[in-house]
């Protein structure tokens, strides 16, 4: 699938047919029981020079988020081991940068990647725009994937962000895949975009040199103080259609039900998994926004009859002292 017309033809199928086709693809290329748990950590929070209209961390908006300096490697080690004990197999770190500066901060991020890899978890970072040589250094440190979202269609992008262009985004994605790092790239729904904008974003993903290994679908978490603070919630059925279309278009990718789960019913989340989503962020916090509790997620997985990670020995021991 490469053209907008092809994406529209799939997206607009009667829902039962769309869900059936997505489920077929899901079973053929992946294991439906394998829903990956990823933990997220903001390693450098707030004060970002970019003006992304959705973001709590932009210095252009008055949100309640306080600036915090780059975490230490020891802090990351502690959070990553805790996440691993709770069943995370991927650890994602975000920094509120336009692009990382070479020097001590970037070196520290490389060490953070090494620490996560040494705990035997996949490591993903999202640091803004990257040069070719930064991508190569991240690869050498063992980075599994780089998250860099296109967010929406090329046409709608400039309504949301003015401090960088769609082509800047595509250039970083090229640098990442040329360095041999998996690309994690998706977007946000619920920013006032049309159905066509959402599908055009998927078309862009389908045209990347290497298709994304991972496609995060975020529902806008409206942040007070940002231009999108009053955006209306995303229609549930439209979200499910988009996830099913992404599953069919990217059969081997992880399709990630990312931000916004705390405002979704259990039933909507179940529909999203039936449509082919196979990853969640878990733990009470995303980068700055709320996420469902680990207990609520464990209940949801039990109700679906999907595996829930057992506490590790260390955690069982802690629970009994």
Applying CB under 6 A, which of residues 22, 91, 123, 126 lies at the interface with ligand DTB? 126
What is the smallest separation between the CB atom of 97 and ligand SF4, expressed in angstroms?
A: 7
Stretch of 6-14, 96-104, 214-222, 313-321 contacting ligand DTB, by CB under 6 A: 214-222
Q: Establish if 94 lies at the interface with ligand DTB (CB under 6 A).
A: yes
Q: Which residue has the tokens 């070196």?
A: 107
Identity of the residue, 223 or 275, whose beta carbon is nearer to ligand SAM in the bound complex: 223
What is the smallest separation between the CB atom of 142 and ligand SAM, expressed in angstroms?
A: 20
Q: Which residue has the tokens 């081991």?
A: 81
Interacting residues with ligand SF4 between 128 and 157 (CB under 6 A) = 128
Catalytic residue among 164, 198, 256, 261: 256
Active site residue 124: yes
Q: Establish if 127 lies at the interface with ligand SF4 (CB under 6 A).
A: no
Q: Establish if 92 lies at the interface with ligand DTB (CB under 6 A).
A: yes
Stretch of 25-33, 55-63, 214-222, 243-251 contacting ligand SF4, by CB under 6 A: 55-63
Q: Establish if 186 lies at the interface with ligand DTB (CB under 6 A).
A: yes
Return residues touching ligand DTB (CB under 6 A).
Answer: 40, 56, 92, 94, 126, 147, 149, 186, 216, 218, 221, 258-259, 286-289
Which residues are known to be catalytic? 48, 52, 55, 92, 124, 184, 256
């Amino acid at each position: 699938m490469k053209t907008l017309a092809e994406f529209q033809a799939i997206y607009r199928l009667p829902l039962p047919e769309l869900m059936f086709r997505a489920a077929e693809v899901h079973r053929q290329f992946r294991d439906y029981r394998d829903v990956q748990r990823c933990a997220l950590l903001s390693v450098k929070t707030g004060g970002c020079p970019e003006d992304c209209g959705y973001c709590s961390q932009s210095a252009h908006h008055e949100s309640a988020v306080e600036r915090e300096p780059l975490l230490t490697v020891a802090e990351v080690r502690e959070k990553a081991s805790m996440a691993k004990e709770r069943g995370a197999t991927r650890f994602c770190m975000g920094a509120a940068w336009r692009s990382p500066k070479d020097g001590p901060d970037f070196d520290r991020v490389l060490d953070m990647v090494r620490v996560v890899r040494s705990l035997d978890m996949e490591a993903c970072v999202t640091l803004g725009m990257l040069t070719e040589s930064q991508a190569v250094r991240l690869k050498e440190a063992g980075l599994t994937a780089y998250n860099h979202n296109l967010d929406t269609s090329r046409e709608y992008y400039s309504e949301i962000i003015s401090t960088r262009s769609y082509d800047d985004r595509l250039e970083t994605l090229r640098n990442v895949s040329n360095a041999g790092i998996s690309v994690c790239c998706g977007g946000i729904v619920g920013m006032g975009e049309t159905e066509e904008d959402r599908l055009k974003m998927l078309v862009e993903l389908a045209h990347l040199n290497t298709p994304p290994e991972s496609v995060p679908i975020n529902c806008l978490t409206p942040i007070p103080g940002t231009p999108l603070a009053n955006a209306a919630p995303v229609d549930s059925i439209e979200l499910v259609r988009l996830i099913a279309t992404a599953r069919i278009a990217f059969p081997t990718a992880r399709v990630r039900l990312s931000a916004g789960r705390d405002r979704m019913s259990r039933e909507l989340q179940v529909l999203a998994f039936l449509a082919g989503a196979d990853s969640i962020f878990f733990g009470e916090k995303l980068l700055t926004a709320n996420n469902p509790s680990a207990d609520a997620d464990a209940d949801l997985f039990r109700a679906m009859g999907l595996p829930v990670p057992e506490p590790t020995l260390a955690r069982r021991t802690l629970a009994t002292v």
